[in-house]
Amino acid sequence: MTTTEPLQLPHPDDTRAAGRALGALLRAGDLVVLTGDLGAGKTTLTQGLADGLQVRGPITSPTFVIARVHPSLVEGPDLVHVDAYRIGGLDELDDLDLDTALSESVTVVEWGHGLAEGLTEDRLEIVLVADEATEARTLSVAAHGRRWSGVDVADALRKARL
């Protein structure tokens, strides 16, 4: 596992820029697990990931539909955006058949910590923490598995000029 230094994101646009930088690294089969309290910026980061992947939007929280598929606009992988907040356990997550789409799409699971890790060893786990007094966020990324061996996630974030 490789972990980045926490990155300060003073504005929602910075959160989207970080997502774009990470989205440019993603490919079919990748799993991204997002963790953070309500309002921490998980959907905002996913909007940036979607921009980096060049998929059809708009990207909104899938809270009430559980999962949305955003098709690629450039013959790249689709984005499967999942909100696991209302999912009660691994069995319910398994009922979504994410493992079927996992190999062909980029799958982003909000509220997935403790659930989505069982889908694959290769994943990015992203934690967002909000400063309650400002719009600022702190982002940390942990890269797990062989897929991410040799991929400099921190460098991609630095190059995004955040």
**Dist CA 72 CA 10 (whole Å):** 29
Strand partners, 106: 79
Q: What's the pTM value of the predicted model, to 2 decimals? A: 0.89
Q: Are the C-beta atoms of 156 and 8 separated by less than 8 Å? A: no
Average pLDDT, the chain: 87
- Could you tell me which residue, 114 or 55, shows the higher pLDDT? 55
Q: Sorting pLDDT into bands at 50, 70 and 90, what band is 70? A: very high
Q: Are the C-beta atoms of 84 and 110 separated by less than 8 Å? A: yes
Distance of CA 96 to the CA centre of its chain: 18
Please give the CATH architecture assigned to the domain spanning 2-159. Answer: 3-Layer(aba) Sandwich (3.40)
94-149 pLDDT tens trace: 555 555 566 789 999 988 788 777 778 999 999 999 998 888 999 999 999 999 99
**Dist CA 29 CA 115 (whole Å):** 17
Judged against a pLDDT cut of 80, whether residue 88 lies above it is answered with: no
